[in-house]
Amino acid sequence: MRYINTILIVVTILGYGCKYLVSDNLNEIKSPIKDNWIKVYDNSSLLLTGITFVDDTTGYAVGAIGCMLKTTDSGENWSIIDSIETPSPSFTDIAFFDKYIGLAVGSAGRISRTSDGGVTWNTSYLSLGNRISNICIIDEHVCFCTMGNLIYKSSDTGLKWDEVYSYPNPYLVFTELSFGSKDVGYGVLARTGENMSGDIIKTTNNGSEWSLLSVETTPAYMSCYFITNKIGYVSDLDGKLYKTTDSGNSWFFPSSVTLDGYTKLHFFTENTGYGCKLNGELIKSIDGGMSWEKVISGNLSSINAICYNQKSKSLFVVGNEGKIYKCSNPFFN
């Protein structure tokens, strides 16, 4: 069970020394904060955007032009699934309720659903022409997805969808949802460009109702991750990191360092989190966002998603150029 699939926190840090070692063999990356990374897949014709695992051995990755990969040996080897129709709209995210039932979402409002462990997939569309940015599964039946300024909910593993929230300004779009529990969840929105802005919303009743949080500033919020109902992190387009410990009633900067650039966040504990960056860097904090160190740099033009397989205790990242990296037994503080 997971409250949000893939992805997470924050940004490049300018001016920091590179406290990592990249060997002459680019397949091997070693970090002084006890992370050992190896490249387990490389296909330069692909662009990967999402990854998830359903058990200790079986996982999936998705990407552009309807691309889907599957592993059955804990991520050591990956193969392209031929049952997905091609050419097709690009996938942005993937998540599973159990080892059999899963959803892959993407551009053109596409939702592909499997009920037989990825052998076959049935495709439906929420709304043609609009991009579904992410999928968020919160229990064995209920999940959410966002499309533009709308939130949709399904209570039957993705067979039927209902619109449960519409943000009043259509120029702001949802960039991520995160649930700290079955009932309490948060969503962040962003408008980029000349009139950059954003907002944060919250539900306390399993997504049936959503309300705006009162925040002092409204930058373009790009990523959020909540560890519990009360403790969570949000990052904006400029790379600023915000933290709350009181359910979003107040926010503070955990670090005086200004993080540079858009990054997706994922925290595994209150102290240990990773940031996937569009410039190809993966950064890590072990002190609640106070400081960050690079653990991958220069091997990908962009890191788009991160996933932790709890059963096999392995961490995975995917990105452009069709690369997948694996870290066995990552250090979580």
CA angle 71, 75, 79 (to 5 degrees): 35
Strands (E) across 221-272 are located at: 221-226, 232-236, 241-244, 263-267
Q: Read off the tokens for 206.
A: 């399993």
Number of domains the chain contains: 1
* Structural domain includes residue 10: no
Residues ≥6 apart with Cβ < 8 Å to 41: 61, 69, 77, 78, 322, 323, 324
Q: What is the pTM of this model?
A: 0.85
pLDDT in tens, 307-330: 999 888 899 999 888 999 999 878
* Residue 132 one-letter amino acid: I
CATH assignment at residue 230 = 2.130.10.10
* Structural domain includes residue 9: no
pLDDT in tens, 192-218: 777 889 999 999 999 999 999 988 778
For the cut 60, the answer to whether the pLDDT of residue 185 exceeds it is: yes
Quote the domain boundaries for residue 247. 21-328
Task: Report the share of the chain in percent with pLDDT over 90.
Answer: 56
Q: What one-character-per-residue DSSP string does 132-191 give?
A: EEEEEE-SSS-EEEEETTEEEEESSTTSS-EEEEE-S-TTSEEEEEEESSSS-EEEEEEE
For the cut 90, the answer to whether the pLDDT of residue 102 exceeds it is: yes
For the cut 80, the answer to whether the pLDDT of residue 2 exceeds it is: no
* Structural domain includes residue 16: no
Mean pLDDT confidence for 127-132: 82
* Structural domain includes residue 333: no
Q: Is 76 left (phi over 0), alpha (psi -120 to 50) or beta?
A: alpha
* Structural domain includes residue 227: yes
pLDDT in tens, 38-89: 999 999 999 999 999 999 999 999 999 889 999 999 999 999 987 676 556 7
* Structural domain includes residue 2: no
For the cut 80, the answer to whether the pLDDT of residue 24 exceeds it is: no
> CA dist 69 to 36, 44, 95, 110, 305, Å?
23, 14, 13, 18, 14
pLDDT in tens, 133-182: 899 999 999 999 999 999 999 999 999 999 999 999 999 999 999 999 99
* Structural domain includes residue 65: yes
The reported pLDDT for the residue numbered 12 is 27
Mean pLDDT confidence for 226-252: 92
Mean pLDDT confidence for 106-126: 92
Residue 315 to residue 34: CA distance in whole angstroms: 12
For the cut 80, the answer to whether the pLDDT of residue 285 exceeds it is: yes
* Structural domain includes residue 1: no
Residue 225 to residue 325: CA distance in whole angstroms: 22
